[in-house]
Structure 1
């Protein structure tokens, strides 16, 4: 009987250990194909690095992490189905983006399933604005935050210029154009015209058409509210039409991947914004950020982009919240995240409680001349930081956020 009891105790102990060591699944809902696939690949790289580091340090609550990923192709309907599949796999939380329409649709379905959703690259104001809810946390900045730092720079260097807008026809494009028009005093469409381009699925002929109309205008600033491969295609046509020589090109949200795809020669002088570049940790004196740049560069033979940094930060922030809450339950994690301030890859950041927007410094950047880029060992020193705005100044206030929610018929608190 004694041996039976001991054997049973041993079996129970082993079963408990096996259960405790069961991996925690994190679900990455990202574009592996489509116009934003390079930004998606960067997210994958950042997430995998974070997971490997956390596992090497003992995991989360005694359990290792594993990543399960699904391709959204930047299509909301497909992304929603991915959320359902990842939930069925037992994912503890979901993250991803590159298309705000994807992040918004995915976040809503995740909320219905009781899962937290962290937006990576989702710049639309709507993500944490009129479409915001308790289960959505946005790691990157909003369109309004980009517009404020960009408007500050453009108003100083190019005051009273005529703008021509070419915009992706979906939520990110709409809110980004609207925000930039407000901060650059280019609201009057009679003076500062604009055209929309289908997303996803625009053809080269569509870009040729709108850019030809831009060329026929008297505009001095060409605002390309496009992203990923769509921006690259438009830039090539703009170059052929001579627009890059006679207009200042503005692309509100730039990434390392975009410049790499187009080439620094084509993108030289383009102005936009970034929430993070690999130069930021040194600028902000972030030892942890500099270590991330070094580790990522050694692992992948390239510098980390803002896309990679976003996914990396999300995994770490979720893991930190789980440890502080001693729980994987979404409600406990929401409480742990709301109002939480931290420093990771740059200066001070905060998960703001009332809208779940990550409040952080935003940078205006300008693409360097090709000869300067080529001086760097990895040939990826693309951006000159030409402007900087603290998160508290860039982010909309509570009153502004509530006014937006009220106008959309939404509750004045997250539900």
Structure 2
């Protein structure tokens, strides 16, 4: 796990730096593309904070740790970063990893603003130390279920791997669809090859297949198998967790990766701030920024505002979550207590269901909004 160098753009600030620990998946088996976008957003915002004078004259510095999607590594990184004296934690993409980090941060009394993870239960008990920008999984995946029903899909197969995150997603979809005359057919990817998934789909008359599976594998292989099976020409493939958001998906699948609806956390139209940040992120990434990059930028924007207003004392940061009112790239960010959610939650996160346009796979079509 490596520490990033002091950020550029700190000229003109003085005094010792204010350090923020950043948890990011940068190596396999972590989702490296998501981690790269998350870090780009975090770093861009840090540079802009420092260009504007830092935190009351002190430069802001990221101390980056690669979680590689391992919960134990994330928990160990939280302990190390706490010892190093960071003012707060930021980041993480993978929900199960974020849960481990949030649990440790809560135990240590270290403020953690989670950027991207959506699992409802980030901590077992309510905590004052953790806040989150991404929507809770129950909210986003219920919106996805509404999209399925509105598109005429009531018989839905779910091909899922084994994890707390995928099991939670399956439960949300089943609990929401079943009372609305939907049928959910669960396919266990621990026991089924991509070819066997196709056989199951052909026999159960499902009109939609949802991939609750890792990227690139086994998700890519399943898509290829389904697309090539003449029996399944009419079936819709969906990926609520957002696998098609990143360019690697399009690179690996080409035309096969289009027309696969997924959840995306962007507004229909970006504000002037969002449009400016989009341009800067595109230059930094050399490709279109994902919603994850915006989440990273907004995370630092919120933390910088809190640190300027309330100082670097950890308890003061945690106490400030309910008073946050910050203009982010995707709307005004405020935190509240949401029933069933154990952390401070941004309830206004914009949510879309989108897919890649078959006629132009680099373009996204908005299919449904919250």
Separation in structure 1 between the aligned mates of residue 184 and residue 93 of structure 2, nearest angstrom: 28
Q: Does 1:367 align with 2:362?
A: no
Q: Does 1:312 align with 2:304?
A: no
Verify the 8 A CA contact 1:163 1:222 in the aligned structure 2: yes
Separation in structure 1 between the aligned mates of residue 56 and residue 196 of structure 2, nearest angstrom: 56
Verify the 8 A CA contact 2:238 2:261 in the aligned structure 1: yes
Q: Does 1:74 align with 2:66?
A: no
> RMSD over aligned Cα, in angstroms?
2.7
Separation in structure 1 between the aligned mates of residue 231 and residue 215 of structure 2, nearest angstrom: 20
Equivalent in the alignment of 2:259: 269
Q: Does 1:214 align with 2:201?
A: yes
Equivalent in the alignment of 1:225: 212
Equivalent in the alignment of 2:135: 141
Separation in structure 2 between the aligned mates of residue 288 and residue 70 of structure 1, nearest angstrom: 28
Count of residues in Structure 1 that have an aligned counterpart in Structure 2: 350
Q: Does 1:106 align with 2:87?
A: no
Separation in structure 2 between the aligned mates of residue 29 and residue 215 of structure 1, nearest angstrom: 42
How many angstroms does 1:52 deviate by?
Answer: 0.8
TM-score, normalised with respect to structure 1: 0.76
How many angstroms does 1:187 deviate by?
Answer: 8.9
| 1:22 maps to which of 2, 5, 16 | 16
| 2:326 maps to which of 329, 342, 345 | 342
Alpha-carbon distance change, 165 to 148 in structure 1, aligned in 2, over 3 angstroms: same
Query: Which one has a bigger Cα radius of gyration?
Result: 1
| 2:313 maps to which of 324, 329, 336 | 329
Alpha-carbon distance change, 243 to 24 in structure 1, aligned in 2, over 3 angstroms: farther
TM superposition outliers: structure 1 runs of 4+ over 4 Å:
186-189, 205-212
Alpha-carbon distance change, 227 to 132 in structure 1, aligned in 2, over 3 angstroms: farther
Equivalent in the alignment of 1:14: none
Separation in structure 2 between the aligned mates of residue 207 and residue 107 of structure 1, nearest angstrom: 35
Separation in structure 2 between the aligned mates of residue 123 and residue 241 of structure 1, nearest angstrom: 33
When you count helix as a share of all residues, which structure comes out higher? Answer: 1
Alpha-carbon distance change, 192 to 153 in structure 1, aligned in 2, over 3 angstroms: closer
TM-score, normalised with respect to structure 2: 0.85
Alpha-carbon distance change, 60 to 147 in structure 1, aligned in 2, over 3 angstroms: same
Verify the 8 A CA contact 1:167 1:196 in the aligned structure 2: yes
Note the residue ranges of structure 1 that are not aligned, 5 or more in a row: 1-18, 374-379, 390-415
SS at match of 2:158: strand
Verify the 8 A CA contact 2:71 2:96 in the aligned structure 1: yes
How many angstroms does 1:43 deviate by?
Answer: 0.9
Alpha-carbon distance change, 197 to 113 in structure 1, aligned in 2, over 3 angstroms: farther
Separation in structure 1 between the aligned mates of residue 270 and residue 119 of structure 2, nearest angstrom: 29
